[in-house]
Structure 1
Amino acid sequence: MVVRTGAQRLAEDRGLVPDGRLGLITNFTGVLPDLTPTSVALRAAGLPLTALFGPEHGLRGTAQAGASEGEGVDPDTGLPVFDTYLRQGRELDELFSGVDVLLFDIQDIGTRFYTYVWTMYDCQQAAARLGMPFVVLDRPNPLGGVRVEGPLLQPGFESFVGRAPIPLRHGLTVGELARQLGAATVVPMDGWTRDSAGTGMPTGMPTGLPWVPPSPNMPTPDTALVYPGTGLFEGTNLSEGRGTTRPFETIGAPYVDDRLVPALSACGLPGVIFRRTWFEPVFSKYAGQAVSGVQLHVVDRDAFEPVRTALVMLRVLNELYPDDFGMLPSLDRLWGSDSLRKALEAGDDPLDLLPAATTPAGWVRPDVLLYEGLYEGMAR
């Protein structure tokens, strides 16, 4: 069954949102199943859309990580475009002075340190300060809604890659997450269930929706699947594959040699096999240098555990290359505490940091009915 997103439902029924001037927080992933931009569809449906607000990477997605496109005019609708990236407090509130209702329609990938949910959170907080309705047009979690992995973010480690205590792989849709984080109205999807991520994912969203790469370094659903784990390599001196055609599936550094793949293969990690590879990033770490590394090949997406896999990789790298392997300050922000860095520094097994239960204490279980029955047809 093809899922009907919240955006599609709103384009067909304008009564799903409050009256007033609408501002839409969106980007190039905000599209209907036929790839019509949500902004265009809402205007065609007669909704009073008056402004667009872009996140990291910008409305069109031309900016790399850590950048945005700035402000301007959207050529598709003629609407003004405002840049929310890294704006908070009064500066963010002032952006919304010309609207009465805020809508959010951006594709998330189900990982805590992917910044779109924190754009949502910051804008949600601004709406609360302004007494303005905040409405999420819900979209699928491409990792599905059954699995949760990794610990919660700890107090004192909040940043734009994690503002609130949620796991690395949170198992929720953006609508569910918005309800978890604060006051929000959700236009739910039709036809989505918690087990909607399946074997169809490599050729597109398993929901029948087209896959639109959510950012320049998230080209395929395969990338999204490994990202909750291998995204941690951004906090090390290894290349996480930025500047290659397989970012986050390819990890390497000049000091990696032919010992790595046999050592990883001997660990018996479920759902994944490893291949030695060589690559030359065109930007980011080791740009223009030929480096050696490993490519992850997920062979069973249901068995694969991205966070566990990445922790084993970090442990093995630390053991094989103690004089070369290094960690960056950003690792603490990505992990959500300093426990991973300290474990690796001490030579401890980072797998001991994973919650003993499938779902960390203090977090909602995604396999039970959540949020006043937002998705009553979910799998159990």
Structure 2
Amino acid sequence: MRDEIANGKVPGAVVVLGIGDRIVVRQAYGNRSVMPSVQPATLDTIYDAASLTKVMATSVAIMQLVERGQIDLDRPAAAYWPAFAANGKADITVRQLMTHYAALPAGIPTRAWSGTEGALDAIVALKPLAPAGTRFVYSDVDFIVLGEIVRRVSGQSLDAYAAQNIFQPLGMRDTSFRPSAPRDRIAPADVEGGELRWGEVQDPIAYRMGGVAGHAGVFTTADDLTKFAQMMLSGGKGVLKPASVAAMTQPQSPPGGSALRGLGWDIDSPYAVWMAPSFSTQSYGHTGYTGTAIWIDPSTRTFLIVLTNRLHPDGKGNNLQMLRRISTVAGAASRGEQSRVMSGIDVLEAYGFRQLAGRRVGLITNRSALDSGGRRTADVLRQASARQGGGPQLVALFSPEHGLDAAAEGKIASGRDQATGLPVFSLYGETRRPTPTMLAGLDALVFDMQDVGARYYTYPTTMAYAMEAAAASKLDFYVLDRPDPITASTVQGAVLDDDLTSFITYLPLPVRHGMTLGELARLFNAEKNIGVRLHVVTMRRYERTMWFDQTGFAWVPPSPNLPKLEQAVLYPGVGMIEAANVSVGRGTDSPFELVGAPWIDGKALTDHLNGRRIAGVRFEAATFTPREWVYPGQRCEGVRIVLTDRNRLDSPLLGVELMAALWRLYGDRLQIDRTLGMIGSRASLAAVKALVDPRDVAQSWTPGVAEFLAKRQPHLLY
């Protein structure tokens, strides 16, 4: 919080974290206002809750009326507000409004009308963007309609109903629409044009409606919101029946809908990505435009509340990265250290494959893709296909380099998978891209493989080519995310020169890009304007700083020459030189732990490299005879690289140190120019050839890495 305040992201905030029966954090930070006067944030500061109104007031009110038999979720909304049926909206149901699958526009213009009746007339005039139930559109209009339904069915305005039936029963003394508290207790917000709103709702539509609307308008405190969160964790005590809470907080969006929403609550949609990955698949929550958020996880009886007024004082604040950082800490605190990470396929299973229900699916995969029970993703999806009630229909498999078993070298032929009986189309044979014939009859492509975290690896490019093919065929593309095994927190190495992209590197990246495959897919889609309908099924409980063996997963070799995690750690460094005429241990039992050639003096190379004092590794003289690849059957001398501290190792620097040592000692023999595609930078290669100190070469990468970090930031999911 202090970091975010110092960086000008928010003026201040109040944070509450509850775990079990304890309030672990209840703290105010910074200021609630900085102009026209500075006022510190306090625990009783009243904040504009913005879209938290949807879950605190409107959704609860609807469910109470459902409990009383006055509303049926699956009846058309027009049954309760007849005028709403106009312009193609007659079939939109209450449930579709609650889940944002009504396909109504996100909002209405804030001109040419005023007052509640003016807003309702504008909504009557709207036309849906698509047939109801077919498209997720997060829409304030949905909840304005629901608020009007509450008024018509209950006979009370939404603010009066919520006060009498929700806020007062829960003892939420400082929660209301149009707050009457003294202004100096309320955090101000700013709107476009520099206007200061202090005690009046920031949302422009709710403001023109007089401060009361189904989508925005509630003001609250952290302590009042704590009472609301505890009510939800208690099964609705005093306000809702347990069955209503269960319905609200479990997926209710249409089968096959990519965004999972409960009744009002967010579960797993693009808007949940700042908080959901840190908690379990039972969790749910909501955020608000003004900088408010609540997330609740019944599995650990945890709730996290963050209230800020990020739009004050200039309308430019942004609290999203703050929410991610706080959620990471809160999620870790709630579960302790023993809970394992859930991969994308585990999350898909936990939600009953709802996102893929009813779709004909092709899966791009290999044996590195296993669920937490050790089953291949192909087998998991095939079994889901056999379910009754419209599960996903897995109809084809696609294999990358090294084949479905991740064990072959060279071109791979298409064939058939013995376990599932499905056709397997090779994407490393006659074609490296899915063809229209391969994609015929599919609704979606799903990608699930384990990456290694290095720039030079073909699986991300296979994913990108498949994304391009899916876009051309108008298919949805799902990435079932997995960890970056060498941590997603470290970015190192030269950024590839723009004209050196190839099948091993789809986009200019540093040697260690520090991204998961799901994040790379988001980057590729944006940077290359692929235009695919991309959906990333995010992991749960994953932290960027985790090495693979800290996630709870067993290492399954993603390709034949990375049988151990330690080799994947060394790969970004040792792999940098393998295009030259040296062996990096391929064809031995220790790939990427050995470097040698028949013309190398192992002791001389060992002494030189140990003299460089490269952090995280040491070197031993070695003799070995590769069975294949470079120098098959020939005795090679060189070094064995012993990993001593992976946290201190700068693996791209290791690669340059190896290259520089070989060039200095054996410049007349080393075919150094062949390494250009791996080091990725002509300037860096020229510096090595000019005998520039490797540490200075590595220092020259800093500007490129900084530029990449800025480009990478919007696409991070964890």
Task: Give the drift of 1:322.
Answer: 2.1
- Higher RCO, 1 or 2 (CA under 8 Å, sep at least 6)? 1
Amino acid aligned to 1:52: L
Which secondary structure does the structure 1 equivalent of 2:513 belong to?
coil
Q: Does 1:29 align with 2:368?
A: yes
1:57 aligns with 2:402: yes
Asked whether the 8 Å contact 1:162–1:336 carries over to 2, the reply is no
Counterpart position of 1:259? 604
Structure-2 separation of matches of 1:357 and 1:82: 41
Residues 279 and 292 of structure 1 are in contact (CA less than 8 Å); yes or no, is this contact kept in structure 2?
A: yes
Confirm whether residue 147 of structure 1 aligns to residue 481 of structure 2.
no
Q: Any conservation in 2 of the 1:162–1:334 contact (CA below 8 Å)?
A: no
Q: Does 1:11 align with 2:349?
A: yes
Q: Is the 8 A contact 1:55 1:116 kept in 2?
A: yes
The answer to whether the Cα contact below 8 Å between 2:344 and 2:482 also exists between their aligned partners in 1 is: yes
* Cα distance in 2, alignment partners of residues 285 and 328 from structure 1: 17
In structure 2, what is the Cα distance between the partners aligned to 1:84 and 1:181?
A: 19
SS at 2:554 equivalent: coil
1:281 matched to 2:626: yes
Corresponding residue for residue 418 of structure 2: 75
Query: Aligned ranges for residues 91-102 of structure 1 at < 5 Å?
Result: 92-102=435-445
- Residues 261 and 294, structure 1, Cα contact 8 Å, conserved in 2: yes
**Shift in CA distance, 34/360, structure 1 to aligned 2, threshold 3 Å:** same
Q: Is the 8 A contact 2:344 2:538 kept in 1?
A: yes
Corresponding residue for 2:542? 192
8 Å CA contact 1:17, 1:135 repeated in 2: no
Residue in 1 that maps onto 2:594: 250
Q: What displacement does 1:363 show?
A: 1.2
Q: 1:356 to 1:56 in 2, by over 3 A?
A: closer
Distance in 2 of aligned mates of 1:244 and 1:133: 41
Query: 3-state SS of the aligned residue for 2:499?
Result: coil
| TM-score scaled by length of structure 1 | 0.90
The match for 2:666 is 321
Structure 1: runs of 5+ lacking an equivalent:
376-380
- CA offsets, 1:78-135, max 9 Å, x none? 111001126356x634322231100000000100111111100111111112211111
Q: Distance in 2 between matches of 1:121 and 1:353?
A: 31
**CA RMSD for the aligned pairs?**
2.0
Q: Which residue of 1 aligns with 2:717?
A: 374
Structure 1's 363 and 94: CA in aligned 2 closer, same or farther, altered over 3 A? farther
For residues 19-40 of structure 1, give each alpha carbon's deviation from its aligned partner in whole angstroms, at most 9, with x where no partner exists: 4210000011111122211111
TM-score (structure 2 length as normaliser): 0.49
Cα distance in 2 for partners of 1:174, 1:168 equals 15
Residue 370 of structure 1 deviates from its aligned partner by: 4.5
Deviation, 1:218, is: 0.7
1:359 deviation in Å? 6.8
Asked whether the 8 Å contact 2:460–2:506 carries over to 1, the reply is no
**Mean Cα deviation higher: 91-100 or 185-194:** 91-100
CA contact (8 A) 1:33 1:210 kept: no
Deviations 1:160-216 (A, max 9, x none): 11121111110011001100110421000011011111xxx5xxx320011001111
Which amino acid in the other structure matches residue 210 of structure 1? A
Paired amino acid for 2:512: R
Q: Which runs of 5+ in 2 are unaligned?
A: 1-338, 386-391, 526-531
> Following the alignment from structure 1 to structure 2, what is the Cα–Cα distance between the partners of residues 356 and 60?
37
Residue matched to 2:512: 169
Q: Distance in 1 between matches of 2:523 and 2:672?
A: 32
Q: Sort the Cα spacing of 1:158 and 1:92 in 2 relative to 1 into closer, same or farther, 3 A.
A: farther
Equivalence map 1:128-143=2 (5 Å): 128-143=471-486
Paired positions, count:
363
Alignment of 1:301-340 (within 5 A): 301-327=646-672, 329=674, 331-340=675-684
Give runs of aligned pairs for residues 177-188 of structure 1, distance below 5 A: 177-182=520-525, 183=532, 184-188=534-538
Percent identity for Structure 1 against Structure 2:
37
Residue of structure 2 in register with 1:378 after alignment: none
Aligned partners of 1:196 and 1:207 also within 8 Å: yes
CA distances 1:130-175 after superposition (whole Å, capped 9, x unpaired): 2111110000110111111112211211111112111111001100
CA distance in 2, matches of 1:344, 1:83: 39
Cα pair distance change 1:29/1:319, threshold 3 Å: same
Is this contact kept in 1: 2:577–2:678, CA < 8 A?
Answer: no
Q: Which residue in 1 is equivalent to 2:280?
A: none
- Alignment of structure 1 residues 324-363 onto 2, 5 Å: 324-327=669-672, 329=674, 331-354=675-698, 355-357=700-702, 360-363=705-708
Instruction: For residue 156 of structure 1, give the secondary structure of its aligned residue in structure 2.
Output: helix
CA distance in 2 between partners of 1:208 and 1:79 (Å): 30
> What SS does structure 1 have at the residue aligned with 2:470?
helix
Q: Shift of the alpha carbon at 1:2?
A: 0.8
Residue of structure 2 in register with 1:292 after alignment: 637
User: For 1:255 and 1:51, how far apart are their aligned partners in 2?
Assistant: 49
d(CA) in 2 for partners of 1:172, 1:123: 19
